[in-house]
Amino acid sequence: MLDLNSAQLYAWLNAFLWPFIRILATLATVPFFSESAIPKRAKVGLGFVLTLIIAPSLPPLPDLPTASYEALLIAAQQVFIGVALGLTMRIVFAAVQTAGEFIGLQMGLSFASFFDPATGANTAVLSRLLNVIAVLTFLALNGHLLLLGVLVRTFHVLPIGADLHINGWGALLDWSSELWVSGMLLALPLIIVLLTINLAFGILNRTAQQLTIFAVGFPITLTVGLTLLVVVIPQTTPFLAQLFNSGYEAMMRVAFGLAGP
């Protein structure tokens, strides 16, 4: 006969519930897994399976009743941790979208946007294009598996029930400052060429004022920009791979920062 008391029941529930909350919060905010194209049941199912796999190997958990105030506070902490980890990796893809904004501005396509069902907002065409390329590269490099591996490692760096420190948010803010730098570096080759063309058109407009620069310049900058995209995009894989690796390292820095000194 199975002798099960309330303390054992609470221990079993907490051993599954708290890791599941952190994993689900991360999947809800991290790129690719948070896309609306992925069914919610698939996300919950993935979180459930991953929790079952890692739960036996986790560090000891606090011995608390599941419905107690302290247990609810720990559950809220797991939500904050998961969201922080997800936002850390989301900055990588935000940098790619920022590069699309920079390129579109130089090509004259900054006004070309469409409704993106994945984000629920209007998105620039080039930003969406580069984001799709980044997602495909992410999957081709097994980034989704590496991401899940980093998520599992955070349970040992930042155990469930540990006190949270403000250093983690500082690490997240420091990493967010890389958004503009990474986006500019990705778009820099096209920006330099297109800016040179626009400067040439500006000089031409001053010397030949009877020439309608807008009618001539827009098709040229658009054609040159699209041609450069075709040439440059295949060469962006090493840069994106390095950017993804930096994202994984930033997730660990955030976890170490939240764990404290």
- Percentage of the chain beyond pLDDT 90 is 20
Q: What is the pLDDT of residue 211?
A: 67
Assess if residue 1 is contained within a domain. Answer: no
pLDDT one-digit tens code per residue, 10-22? 677 777 888 999 9
Domain carrying residue 34: 6-259
Residue 63 lies in a domain: yes
Burial per residue of 25-36, b for 16 or more beta-carbon CB atoms within 10 angstroms, e otherwise: bbbbbbbbbbee
Predicted confidence band of residue 23 (pLDDT cuts 50, 70, 90)? very high
User: By C-alpha distance, which of 106, 102, 108, 100 is closest to 131?
Assistant: 100
Residues 6+ apart with CB under 8 A from 134: 92, 93, 96, 240
Q: Does residue 94 fall inside a structural domain?
A: yes
**Length of the chain, please?**
261
* Residue 54 included in any domain: yes
Contacts of 140 (CB under 8 A, 6+ apart): none
Per-residue model confidence (pLDDT) at position 25: 93
The residues, ordered by sequence, that sit 6+ positions from 115 with a Cβ below 8 Å of its Cβ are: 121, 122, 123
Secondary structure E strands in 56-184? 113-116, 121-124
The burial of 213, by beta-carbon neighbours within 10 Å (0-12 exposed, 13-18 middle, 19 or more buried), is given as middle
The pLDDT of 167-182, averaged and rounded, is: 82
Q: Any alpha helices (H) in 30-65, and if so which ranges? A: 40-54
Q: Which pLDDT does position 206 carry in this prediction?
A: 76
Could you tell me if residue 82 is inside a domain? yes
pLDDT digits (tens, 9 = 90+) for 200-244: 877 877 776 666 666 677 778 888 888 888 888 888 889 899 999
Closest to 82 (Cα-Cα) out of 145, 18, 14, 21: 21
What is the per-residue pLDDT across 33-87, written as a single tens digit (0 to 9) for each?
A: 888 778 889 989 999 999 988 888 888 877 777 777 888 898 899 999 999 999 9
**What is the number of structural domains in the chain?**
1
1 has a pLDDT exceeding 60:
no
Residue 48, strand partner residues: none
Asked if residue 118 is part of any domain, the answer here is yes
Distance CA 223, CA 217 (A): 10
> Torsions phi, psi of 109, nearest 5?
-105, 15
In a domain, 224, yes or no: yes
Higher pLDDT, 153 or 121: 153
pTM above 0.85, yes or no: no
